[in-house]
Amino acid sequence: GRAVVDETGEASKFTQTVSFGMIRVMRPAESGVVVPCVRGRFVLHDADFEKVTQFMVRKTEGDMKLALREFAAWLSPVAESLQHCADARAHPIGDELAAMLSHLSAPQKFIYVPGKHLDVDGQSLFLSVNSLIGAFRRGEMGSFGSFLGGMLILFSGDSTSVPPSSSVPPLAPAPAPPSERPQDAPGAAAGGHPGAGGAGRARTLLSAR
């Protein structure tokens, strides 16, 4: 993509919505700092993330590892922009994001059982990945960004800064029905986080068929 983009374009709107949604979950008290750091600095193409999902839904270990590497590479411009932002307050946020993405690009521990588990460096990402893919395909990009933040913060070692999902409103007004909430989904693990919503759709995205 281009280094500088037209801020009226759809790609720029997508980039800003996703980036801000992600950071406001990761670092809610400092999320306002990132706005000038990402505006017009880079572009995240939704078509590139769609390619990532195509690897994921093949449901093989090799494809899932490749998908996570591509996923990390897709988000790396966000980290780089924050690390090099004129506002130095963004630098530690960028460093933190880069460290989180390294778990996806080069995990030390990786367990994938189609339809059951996706564990990366000791963190379960199965529900998170299904949630963010579901939000993406429904066009709920604010929720998509929030789910990204909810997933990545699992690697921070401190998930206490994650706000309740209700405090991060999605772009679409309709909440998930009770049957699709993580606590009601068959086999859903306890102790979920904002990135674990939409578990009821897990069976249609990453689950074995």
Query: What pLDDT digit, counting tens, does each position of 67-91 carry?
Result: 999 999 999 999 999 999 999 999 9
Residues in the chain: 209
Outline where DSSP puts E strands in 27-177: 110-113, 117-120, 123-124
Do 88 and 98 touch, CB atoms closer than 8 A?
Answer: no
Q: Which of 33, 160, 26, 42 is nearest to 98 (CA)?
A: 26
Could you read off the pLDDT of 141-193 as tens digits, one per residue? 999 999 999 999 999 864 434 333 333 333 333 333 333 333 333 233 333 34
Core vs surface per residue 77-86: b (16+ CB within 10 A) or e: bbbebbbebe
The model's pTM? 0.70
